[in-house]
Amino acid sequence: MIRLAFLLLLAGPAVAQTAHVRVEAPAGEVVVDGVRAGAAGEWIGVEAGTREVVLLDDAQAWDPRRASATVTVAAGDSATVALSLPTRLRVETLPIRALVVRERNGVRDTLGTAPLTVETDGPAVLIAALDGYQEVRQSVGAGAESVTLVLPLRADAVPETALLPTERSTLGRTLIDVGIGAAALAAGAVAVHYKFRADSADDRYRAEGSADFGNEVVRQEALRLDRYSAVALGAMQVGIGALALRFVLR
């Protein structure tokens, strides 16, 4: 009996029964029950039982993208969990401060006032509304990262100064003014679109660990998109200047 107790003492405390889990994802950091445990694609040892498994794109970020699942594994078993990080969509409107609503499968939910960033996990329809402007609807795919909704001015919301009866004010002049304003607005939308694409390419070029890190082709693409954005911004400024000059000369 004494010999048996001595052998048990040499064996030390019993080792906790363990299991293994693996997160199936292209990349990301894995957190199990609130503790960083490894990376996507690795087999991670965990205690048997029900565990909360979380996939993060960057555990050090202030607000990382995340996906989670609850997994139950028995001692000695292993389990694979497929997780996908949600896509973040940047929503801009021209003019800004339009109310943005998402419609999916007939259900609408209010996202907020643009500009804003939301998480999305599939295609949807975005609806933007602002007093004095026509409501705009636009479909957005599952992989989209940014979208700009341009709201046309309502016909009954033309500024009163454009409707004042003067000797030089005619319907033709008013239509020209509206056309110039619409062109300037469209140029602004193009400038924003190319600027977002340029910033995205530049981020891929500069981000260590990215597949495009240090890729000269990506850097040239970012510079080219920046030039496009600058040209469109210049066109918008010319349009605004032309409108201001026409109103001064009336």
pLDDT tens across 190-200, in order?
A: 888 888 888 88
If one counts every other C-beta atom within 10 angstroms of the C-beta of residue 114, the result is: 23
Cα dihedral 32/35/39/45 (nearest 10)? -60
Residues 120-154: tens digit of each pLDDT: 877 889 999 999 999 999 999 888 889 999 999 98
Average pLDDT, the chain: 83
Q: Band of the pLDDT at 222, cuts 50, 70, 90?
A: confident
Strand order in the sheet with 146-150: 116-120, 87-94, 146-150
Task: Judge residue 54's burial from the number of C-beta atoms within 10 Å of its C-beta, 0-12 exposed, 13-18 middle, 19 or more buried.
Answer: buried
If one counts every other C-beta atom within 10 angstroms of the C-beta of residue 192, the result is: 21
Residues 66-119: tens digit of each pLDDT: 899 999 999 999 999 999 888 889 999 999 999 999 998 889 999 999 999 988
Q: Band of the pLDDT at 10, cuts 50, 70, 90?
A: very low
Rounded to an integer, what is the distance from CA 5 to the centroid of its chain?
63
Name beta bridge partners: 103: 108, 125
> Is 9 strand, coil or helix?
helix
* Joined tokens for residue 231: 């040209």
Residue 14 clears pLDDT 70, i.e. is over it: no
Least confident of 45-54, 150-159, 218-227: 150-159
Q: What mean pLDDT is predicted for residues 8-35?
A: 77
Could you name the CATH architecture of 2-82? Sandwich (2.60)
Nearest CA to 248 out of 168, 179, 191 is that of 168
Least confident of 27-41, 153-167, 193-207: 153-167
Fold: same for 2-82 and 86-155: yes
Least confident of 25-29, 49-53, 62-66, 130-134: 62-66
What fold is seen in the domain 86-155?
Immunoglobulin-like (2.60.40)
Q: List C-alpha distances in Å: 144 to 7, 26, 96, 148.
A: 64, 18, 20, 11
Residue-range domain boundaries for the chain: 2-82, 86-155, 158-250
Q: pTM of the entire structure?
A: 0.46
- 33's enclosing H/E stretch is none
